[in-house]
């Protein structure tokens, strides 16, 4: 990546790391939940959110490495994006298998949107591999989208767990 991208990747990667740390705090809020329900919730909501944010961290870290060749950057974007797409699809399947889902928007924000963003990143990685000039912007847009959906999902998890805990 060119040096003019350093600030972007430092900001995006650092933001994702902070959100992952905050999710560990959110996990402590679920410590009083029924064990089965907590495990199902972690599989459907928590783990994929951490994975998507981890993808942002990984790509940002590699982008900041000096001299990363385009094919390596493309692979670092594509491989986690493929897994992230599978994770988003699996989250959707798990939501349909384990009703009731707390809110209908969960299907969109924990499954559909992350899946679409991961598909976007796969296409952007391919374009980057082909050394297409706008590919760097496409990767950046995908990372920002993952960061935003991760922020929304972290907020959703925290507010849900606090209200669920208050209902006890």
Domain ranges of the chain: 3-160
How far is it, in rounded angstroms, from Cα 42 to Cα 87?
A: 13
Query: Cβ(13)–Cβ(58) under 8 Å?
Result: no
Write phi, then psi, for 69 (nearest 5 degrees): -70, 155
Predicted confidence (pLDDT) per residue in 107-147, tens digit: 999 999 999 999 999 999 999 999 998 999 999 999 999 99
Q: The whole model's pTM is what?
A: 0.89
**End-to-end C-alpha distance for the chain, whole angstroms:** 50
Predicted confidence (pLDDT) per residue in 9-68, tens digit: 999 999 999 999 988 887 776 667 777 777 777 788 888 899 999 999 999 999 999 988
Angle at 92 between CA 140 and CA 26, to 5 degrees: 70
DSSP state of 101: P
Q: What separation in angstroms does the CA of 94 have from each of 6, 41, 91, 118, 136?
A: 38, 10, 5, 18, 33
How far is it, in rounded angstroms, from Cα 140 to Cα 1?
A: 11
Q: Is the pLDDT of residue 2 over 90?
A: no
């Amino acid at each position: 990546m060119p040096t003019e991208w350093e600030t972007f990747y430092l900001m995006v990667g650092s933001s994702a790391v902070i959100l992952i740390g905050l999710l560990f705090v959110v996990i402590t809020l679920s410590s009083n939940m029924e064990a089965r329900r907590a495990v199902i919730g972690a599989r459907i909501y928590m783990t994929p959110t951490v994975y998507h944010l981890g993808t942002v961290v990984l790509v940002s870290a590699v982008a900041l490495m000096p001299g990363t060749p385009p094919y390596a950057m493309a692979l670092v974007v594509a491989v986690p994006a493929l897994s992230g797409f599978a994770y988003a699809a699996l989250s959707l399947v798990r939501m349909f298998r384990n009703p009731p889902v707390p809110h209908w928007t969960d299907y969109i924000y924990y499954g559909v949107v992350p899946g679409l963003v991961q598909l976007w990143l796969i296409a952007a990685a391919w374009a980057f591999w082909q050394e297409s000039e706008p590919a760097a912007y496409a990767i950046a847009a995908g990372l920002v989208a993952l960061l935003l959906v991760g922020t929304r999902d972290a907020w959703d998890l925290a507010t849900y767990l606090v209200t669920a805990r208050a209902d006890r």
